[in-house]
Amino acid sequence: MAQPAVLSLGSINADLRFEVDKPFSSDATVRASGFSRKSGGKAANVAYFTQRLGFPTKLLGQVGDDDLATVAIGPFMQENLDLEAVFVAPNSMTGIAVVVVPADGNKSILSVANANMNWQTPAVEKVVQAIDNAPASSVLIADFEVPRIVLEAAFKAAERRGFRIIVDPTFADQIEKTDLKRFYAVSPNQKEAADVLGIEVANESQASQAATEFNALGAKLHALSSPTVAASFVRGMRRPQYERPLSMSWTRRGPAMPLLPRSLPRPWRTNRHMKPPAGALRLQPSRLVGRARRRLIPLGRSSIRCSLLY
């Protein structure tokens, strides 16, 4: 039997990255200290990380018929990532993100969707076909940087297969609160969580409130990413069902990928949870990067020990 796979649907971009020594001001020209072109886009990033971590992964999305398409998907060819469901949008440019990174690391991003939003019916049908043909117990991870018609078709296909759906609600105007019950997990940043729920999310207490509200609206798991607020996780309150531990990959500035359910094979090993408490779990990422180690995560009166990749 084929192993369950990660199906990553959403944006694929060519990132134009500028490094600057000081933030922009409205009336000055800022000289960049460095420039690079890299692959980017939320779905592309998820696919890259999950493939590197050892999960079978298929990327679902679009690039343009221009030279930036090579920038956007070139690294994935080196990783032998499944690109069968990456389509070329005719007469379109590849999605572009201009990323400005000052010395403090608080980057600014200006993005143009281009091919990410220029979908035609045959490409949508092939996305559905890719989900229909995926191994049992696979997981669909989607961002909201592609047209809603594409997402809706993919969600329905995943629901027919009984796949868990994990979403990154990039643009709150594309997601309704009633949508949340369809999703196994949501992974917004602070602004996205605030926009979706209509509440302020500026500290850990408000993050816990947001996690509880996401849970009440139907999402079984909520992961809030932020450089200042630790991630908050909430499982179903009525009957918490911790099947096995969940793991997350972290970078210096927060989570590098959404949480993955235990239905997928683990390239690293974790032990089972003890009986979990109801409520939120807060996890503060370490600043250590580049090696794996064990960490004890408090869970009220009980705890789990899991391997986190740093």
Q: What SS3 class is residue 225?
A: strand
- Domain span at residue 258 reads 177-310
DSSP state of 48: H
d(Cα 144, Cα 292) in Å, to the nearest integer? 31
Residue 111 maps to a domain: no
Per the model's pLDDT, the better-predicted residue between 168 and 230 turns out to be 168
Q: Characterize the bridge pairing of strands 57-64 and 108-112.
A: unpaired
Exposure of 143 in the CB half-sphere (CA atoms within 13 A)? 26
Query: In this structure, what are the phi and psi dihedrals at residue 237, rounded to the nearest 5 degrees?
Result: -75, -35
Residue 172's pLDDT band, with cuts at 50, 70 and 90, is: confident
Per-residue pLDDT, averaged over 117-141, amounts to 97
Residue 275 maps to a domain: yes
d(Cα 17, Cα 19) in Å, to the nearest integer? 7
Residue 118 maps to a domain: no
For the stretch 156-163, contacts whose Cβ atoms lie closer than 8 Å and that sit 24 or more positions apart, written own/partner, are 157/127, 157/128, 157/131, 157/132, 158/7, 158/131, 160/132, 161/131, 161/132, 161/134, 161/136, 162/137, 163/7, 163/131, 163/134, 163/137, 163/138, 163/139
Per-residue pLDDT, averaged over 137-159, amounts to 96
Residue 33 maps to a domain: no
pLDDT tens for residues 242-251? 333 333 333 3
Domains of the chain: total:
1
Residue 171's pLDDT band, with cuts at 50, 70 and 90, is: confident
Q: How far is CA 59 from the centre of its chain?
A: 13
Residues 6+ apart with CB under 8 A from 119: 62, 89, 146, 147, 149, 150
Residue 98 maps to a domain: no
Q: What is the pTM of this model?
A: 0.74
DSSP state of 84: T
Query: In this structure, what are the phi and psi dihedrals at residue 236, rounded to the nearest 5 degrees?
Result: -55, 125
Residue 254's pLDDT band, with cuts at 50, 70 and 90, is: very low
Residue-level pLDDT at 229: 59
Residue 56 maps to a domain: no
Per-residue pLDDT, averaged over 62-82, amounts to 92
Question: Alpha helices, DSSP H only, in the chain?
Answer: 42-52, 68-78, 121-132, 148-161, 190-197, 204-216
Q: Characterize the bridge pairing of strands 254-255 and 250-251.
A: antiparallel
Residue 26's pLDDT band, with cuts at 50, 70 and 90, is: low
Residue 122 maps to a domain: no
Residue 252 maps to a domain: yes
